[in-house]
A and B are shown apart, each in its own frame.
Chain A
Amino acid sequence: MNGDAVPPSLRVVRLSKRYGALRALDGLDLSIAPGEFVALLGPNGAGKSTLFQLLTALFVADAGVIEVDGVSLAQRPSAALARIGVVFQQPTLDLDTDALANLRFHARLHGLGHAGLQRAPVLLAELGLSEQAARPCRLLSGGNRRKVELARALLTQPRLLLMDEPTVGLDPLSRRQLLDSVRRRCADDGLAVLWATHLVDEAEAADRVLVLHRGRCRAEGSPAAIVAAQQAPDLQSAFVALTREPAPGRAEEADA
Chain B
Amino acid sequence: MRAGHAAQALFAICQREVRRFVQQRSRLLSALVRPTLWLAVFAAGFQNVFGMSVVEPYDRFVTYQEYVAPGLLGMVLLFNGMQSSLAMVYDREMGMMRLLLTAPLPRVYLLACKLLAGTVLSMLQAYAFLAVCAWFGVGLPWGGWLSALPALLLCGLMLGALGLLLAATIRQLENFAGAMNFVIFPMFFLSSALYPLWKLQESGATWVWWLARFNPFTHAVELIRYALYGRLNGEALTVVAAATLLFFIAAALGFDPQRGLVRLRRQAG
Contacts and interface: CB of A to CB of B under 8 A. Distances in A.
B177 interface: no
B268 A44 contact: yes
Interface stretch (B1-9, B26-34, B155-163): B1-9
Interface stretch (B16-24, B126-134, B188-196): B16-24
A96 B98 CA distance: 17
A45 B266 CA distance: 11
A89 interface: yes
A196 interface: yes
A48 B20 CA distance: 34
Interface string A64-96: 000000000000011111101010111110111
A88 B266 CA distance: 12
Contacts of B269: 42, 44-49, 89, 164-165, 196, 198, 255
A45 B268 contact: yes
B16 A94 contact: yes
Interface residues of B, number: 36
Contacts of A109: 8-9, 12-13, 99-100, 103, 105
B267 interface: yes
B1 A78 contact: yes
Interface residues of A, number: 47
> B1, B105, B258, B265 — which one has the most chain A CB atoms within 10 A of its CB?
B105
Contacts of B9: 108-109, 111
B51 interface: no
Given A58-B264, A60-B257, A90 B98 contact: yes
A105 B96 CA distance: 11
A110 B94 contact: no
Interface string B87-107: 000000011101111111110
Nearest to A78: B104
Interface string A102-115: 00111011111100
A110 B103 contact: yes
B267 A82 contact: no
Contacts of A53: 264, 266
Nearest to A89: B267
B66 to A, nearest CB: 40
A49 B95 CA distance: 14
A37 to B, nearest CB: 19
B260 A78 contact: no
A96 B104 contact: no
B266 A92 contact: no
B102 A81 contact: yes
Contacts of B94: 91-92, 95
Given A78-B104, A113-B4, A91 B95 contact: yes
A96 B13 CA distance: 15
A113 B96 contact: no
Contacts of A108: 8-9, 11-12
Contacts of B8: 108-109, 111-113
Interface of B: 1-2, 4-6, 8-9, 11-13, 15-16, 19-20, 23, 94-96, 98-106, 257-258, 260, 264-269
Closest 5 pairs between A and B when the two form their complex, measured CB to CB: A111-B5, A108-B12, A92-B95, A82-B104, A48-B269
Interface of A: 19, 42, 44-50, 53, 56-60, 77-82, 84, 86, 88-92, 94-97, 104-106, 108-113, 164-165, 196, 198, 255-256
